[in-house]
């Protein structure tokens, strides 16, 4: 039973009690307040994937293992991704890329390069539209499946891991992930790099929050390429000096606690 189900049952029981035993204006105000509180809880559940409110998401590895995973969303990008792959190669770091299906089909060569260089190619839906997470479960499952098929055609391997666009979850994303057999992946350290014009704040945020088993969320599309590389270099240097090892999501997943 998910947290969403438990909260909904409790909400309905409390609301029913109020409607039965409270009358007049005070009762209506109390009922409205309960409904508002429920909506606020739902909003928090939608927005924070690591709460596992609607579905269980893998947002952190084993806290006893000094390993972290770098993840990059929204690519591949014809300008940024090649630069990122080159830098990862120089640093000898393996990353996990959550790719948009449309971009996969447009830039198949970059997907091949990712796989050939030992990175993990993962699923980030086909279109990544503003309302993708709120499609019907069937349509959302089709988006996930189409992207998985596109990746499999290129790499020969079907992606097991899926990250919902913007990390938003709801009952529809939960059902679509279950239908497609995809493991949902979140994060516990978010770079907030999309609007960064300099690397400082992103570096400070990541190095300050990274811990054993951290999944670090960054982007290789829609970001400043120079900032992207500067952030990568600094966080790799900082975390390695602190004894961390960089691994792919599948390795971090295999280390998770039972």
Q: What is the dihedral of CA 96, 102, 197, 207, to 10 degrees?
A: -20
pLDDT for position 130? 82
pLDDT for position 258? 55
Integer Cα distance of 49 and 99 in angstroms:
18
- Is a pLDDT exceeding 80 seen at residue 51? yes
Question: In CATH, what number is assigned to the domain containing residue 218?
Answer: 3.20.20.370
Any idea what DSSP says for residue 182?
P
- Is a pLDDT exceeding 70 seen at residue 197? yes
Do 148 and 227 lie in a common domain?
yes
Is 53 part of any domain? no
pLDDT for position 159? 98
What one-character-per-residue DSSP string does 191-252 give? ---TT-SSSHHHHHHHHHH--TTBEEEEESSSS-HHHHHHHHHHHHHHHHHTT-EE--HHHH
Do 127 and 188 lie in a common domain?
yes
Torsion angles phi and psi, residue 108, rounded to 5:
-60, -35
Q: Mind listing the pLDDT tens digit for each residue in 69-91?
A: 999 999 999 999 999 999 999 99
In the residue annotation, 219 being an active-site residue is answered as yes
Name the average pLDDT for the chain. 97
pTM: 0.94
pLDDT for position 26? 87
Is 60 part of any domain? no
pLDDT confidence bin for 23, thresholds 50/70/90: confident
In the residue annotation, 107 being an active-site residue is answered as no
Q: Which of 107, 119, 128, 219 is catalytic?
A: 219
Q: Which of 73, 77, 188, 220 is catalytic?
A: 73
Domain that holds residue 184: 67-254
């Amino acid at each position: 039973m998910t947290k969403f189900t438990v909260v909904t049952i409790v909400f309905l029981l409390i609301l029913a009690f109020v409607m039965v035993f409270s009358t007049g204006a005070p009762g209506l105000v109390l009922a409205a307040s309960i409904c508002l509180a429920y909506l606020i809880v739902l909003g928090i559940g939608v927005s924070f994937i690591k709460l596992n409110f609607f579905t269980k998401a893998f947002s952190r590895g084993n806290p006893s293992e000094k390993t972290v995973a770098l993840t990059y969303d929204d690519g591949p990008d014809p300008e940024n991704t090649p630069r990122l792959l080159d830098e990862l190669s120089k640093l000898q770091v393996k990353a996990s890329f959550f790719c948009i299906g449309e971009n996969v089909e447009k830039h198949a060569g970059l997907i091949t390069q990712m796989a050939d260089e030992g990175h993990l190619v993962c699923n980030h839906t086909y279109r990544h539209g503003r309302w993708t997470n709120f499609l019907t479960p069937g349509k959302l499952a089709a988006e996930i499946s189409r992207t998985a098929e596109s990746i499999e055609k290129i790499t020969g391997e079907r992606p097991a891991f899926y990250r919902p666009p913007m990390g938003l979850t709801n009952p529809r994303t939960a059902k679509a992930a279950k239908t497609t057999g995809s493991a949902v992946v979140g994060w516990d350290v978010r770079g907030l790099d999309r609007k960064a014009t300099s690397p400082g704040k992103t570096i400070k945020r990541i190095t300050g929050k990274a811990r054993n088993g951290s999944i670090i969320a960054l982007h290789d599309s829609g970001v400043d390429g120079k900032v992207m590389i500067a952030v990568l270099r600094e966080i790799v240097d900082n975390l390695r000096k602190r004894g961390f090892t960089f691994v792919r999501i599948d390795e971090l997943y295999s280390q998770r606690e039972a």
